Amino acid sequence: MEKLLVENKEKIMTLQEFITKFNVKLNKQQLEAVQSVEKPTLLLAVPGSGKTTVLVTRLGYMIYCLGIRPEEILTVTYTVAATNDMRKRFASIFGDELAARLEFRTINGICAKIIGYCEICVGKKAFDLLTDESYKTKLLSAIYTELIHQYPTESDLKNISTLITYIKNMQLSENEINKIGNEQDIPLLKIYSAYCDEMKKQSLMDYDDQMVYALTMLKVSPQILEYFQEMYKYICVDEAQDTSKIQHQIIALLASKYKKVFMVGDEDQSIYGFRAAYPEALLSFEKNYDNANVLLMEENFRSNAKIVTAADRFIQKNKFRHEKHMKAFREAGTEIQKIHLKNRRAQYSYLAKVAENTDVETAVLYRDNESIIPVVDLLERKGIAYRIKNADLTFFSHRVVMDIKNIIRFAMEPTNTEIFMQMFYKINTYMSKAVATQVCKISQERGITILDAAIDYGDVPAGTRKSVKSMQTHLKRMLEESGGKAIYRIIHSMGYKEYLDRSNIKDSKLSIIQAIAYNEPSALALINRLDELAMLIKEKPYDNGCKFILSTIHSSKGLEYDKVYIMDAVDGIFPENVIANYETCKAKGEEAKEYEEERRLYYVGVTRAKNELCIFEFDDGSTFTNELLGIENKNSANSSDIYGITGISSTRSMSKSSSYKNSIDLTKPTSYQKTETKRKKITESEYADKIEEIYLTGTVMHKKYGLGKVLKISGDLLEIEFDGRVTKCKLKFMMEHSLIE
């Protein structure tokens, strides 16, 4: 390509010459964005609207048509991968030589440059950048152990690290840090302070510190600020909706002199709130930048028109957004498919069959990494090819998963005091810590099991002794059962679910464990399978040629696939909580913020599909999916996943006083039975089989009222809907009186 001499005005092209020379094919909105250079501009680009093409073309336009030196332009991207991609895209159109004169950097790359210049100015080296994540993990582990007096899991450490990033990027106060800590039941401020102190002591900074220090330097040193303002007179920001509060402050300072900032983003696609993404900066752009220009790119070139129309209808219900509408470039294609299945578990075998017969690029998208683990389990068992994007292994080290494994291990090792002290208060032993410590000592001294020590020798009250005997029976029987029955016993009969409830710990992991356990012949086999799966996922080579892709929605952002399946889009899982009648309600603050982010995540997921979109549906469906498809929503209250049974019915929207007004009395024998029918004796094994069946199907068949949907399981108590009417009943009673088949 000919060398560009921008200083020579005669060499500058007209817009039409530029379009012709570089074969530019842009619509009216895109061309307007390309030409908006001389004042602060926010470009709101809907999914599939070609924002990268516009960004790259705009850079060429600035150089060739406006005579702007490439060295004066800074392009900020969200990731290193995006930086490399954009540089390659630019080079493919305008040549490598010109691309080399442009700066494409992440915000951390800019901050590193600022800190480096400061080092030169003061003649002193700044803190060393900590790039070794394992060292950071080791440091956090030591702090966690010292302050909480227990060893953290991988999941705990990841959570702490994410929170520290959030604190620094959002510039939270001590009160705000304490609030988060209280919500998560951890001494977060103490952990955060200890971590910062230790980093300073060792003259280290992490990537978040890098931004904090760079911002401080720009604020306190007019010399440094002016140096970079003159260097970067034109600033372009990609994925502005994912940029954090502190990052926006750095960009605002750099742009404060010349005001030639160009931000491309879409608050409808802001899904990194947990990483401190700050979409509020887009909503307040006109307030923050005088004489600002807000432009729209509303045409979606990716998806068929039915997907575009539905996705736009859905996102319009969000309140914190700019007014815009996504419009389809393509014609209508295949209808959005709603796949109705009995329960959550049925997804897994369905997707395994899809994977066997995939001939186009097909992505399975999900909210949380854990959702896909049962699918991976089946695919590995069947030897079906798949590729998994950015797999996260923290599920396997999560407290709930470790607890389940420890309970099973204790059943196998009844003298293991270390395991017992980790789980005695999580199951119904009803022992104090002092008593638990005592019986462990007796067990070691006498060479007997811990529970035998408690029953025969410990200072254990009579009621507690009875509970311990019961627990001993449960532990023995657990080892004789299938994996599914053993897990059910732990959850429902041994008190583990009650422990989670009183500790305010989410129980979503349990349904995943149960799905895997269903395929295992024993509790021991389940432990082995969990360890095996963790290793299989960790060592899975990434096969670029495989057409069946597993990915979180977060990891799919910016990508597209011929066909998309959305997993677990049910109330209680995705979204985790439902705000009824959100459009008209007065929800605000954190509740509204979190709910809108979940809505945006769903929106991003469905807009990854080019040709076909398939969404799984269970029970009464999903608030999100109903809104997407324009179906009047039946679900009006919060729901939770009860081990694979999702429970919301139209009747639940009634007030407490009226919700059971028309309920069925299931305690009476059916019309064709004699009232004096002899009560059947139900064995524990029969009961366990029936409860497992209900878990798997989500239904019961009543001899008079027919098929009923199980909305909720609480111990022996079932909440069931028959033809729009809801009732509560005891399972054992119905079985004893032969009321259900």
DSSP letters spanning 276-311: TB-THHHHTHHHHSTT-EEEEE-EESSS-HHHHHHH
State the average pLDDT for the chain.
Answer: 88
Distance CA 143, CA 195 (A): 7
For 647-705, where are the E strands, in sequence order?
699-702
Distance CA 470, CA 472 (A): 5
pLDDT above 90 (res 662): no
Q: Provide the whole-model pTM.
A: 0.83
Tell which wins on pLDDT, 459 or 564: 564
Q: Which two tokens stand for residue 387?
A: 């590729």
Helix axis angle for 589-606 and 305-315, nearest 10°, is 180
pLDDT above 80 (res 224): yes
Tell which wins on pLDDT, 681 or 109: 109
Taking residue 31's Cβ as centre, other Cβ atoms within 10 Å add up to 17
pLDDT above 80 (res 14): yes
723 φ/ψ sector (left φ>0, alpha ψ -120 to 50, else beta)? left
Query: Are the CB atoms for 168 and 250 separated by under 8 Å?
Result: no
* 169-178, 219-228, 282-291, 618-627, range with the lowest pLDDT: 618-627
Q: What is the pLDDT of residue 678?
A: 64
Helix (H, G, I), strand (E, B) or coil at 558: coil
| Mean pLDDT, residues 5-33 taken together | 84
State the burial class of residue 636 (Cβ atoms within 10 Å of its Cβ: 0-12, 13-18, 19+): middle
Phi, psi (5° rounding) for residue 333? -125, -135
Termini Cα distance of the chain: 79
Helix (H, G, I), strand (E, B) or coil at 718: strand
Query: Are the CB atoms for 445 and 411 separated by under 8 Å?
Result: no
Q: What is the pLDDT of residue 520?
A: 95
- Quick one: which of 727, 50, 602, 74 has its CA closest to 314? 602
Q: Give the torsion through C-alpha atoms of 550, 554, 557, 562, to 10 deg.
A: 30
* 57-71, 340-354, 506-520, 619-633, range with the lowest pLDDT: 619-633
Phi, psi (5° rounding) for residue 452? -65, -40
Helix (H, G, I), strand (E, B) or coil at 471: helix
Q: Give the torsion through C-alpha atoms of 28, 34, 39, 43, to 10 deg.
A: 70
Quick: pLDDT tens for 131-149.
Answer: 999 999 999 999 999 999 8
**Half-sphere exposure of residue 219: CA atoms within 13 angstroms, side-chain side:** 9
Which residues are registered as beta bridge partners of 549?
Answer: 363, 387
Residue 671 pLDDT grade (very low, low, confident, very high; cuts 50, 70, 90): very low
Distance CA 610, CA 330 (A): 10
**Looking up tokens 């068992």, which residue turns up?**
381
Distance CA 711, CA 730 (A): 13
Residue 675 pLDDT grade (very low, low, confident, very high; cuts 50, 70, 90): very low
User: Which residues, 6 or more positions from 664, have their beta carbon under 8 angstroms from its beta carbon?
Assistant: 705, 722, 725, 727
Residue 2 pLDDT grade (very low, low, confident, very high; cuts 50, 70, 90): very low
What is the residue type of 102? L
What is the residue type of 571? D
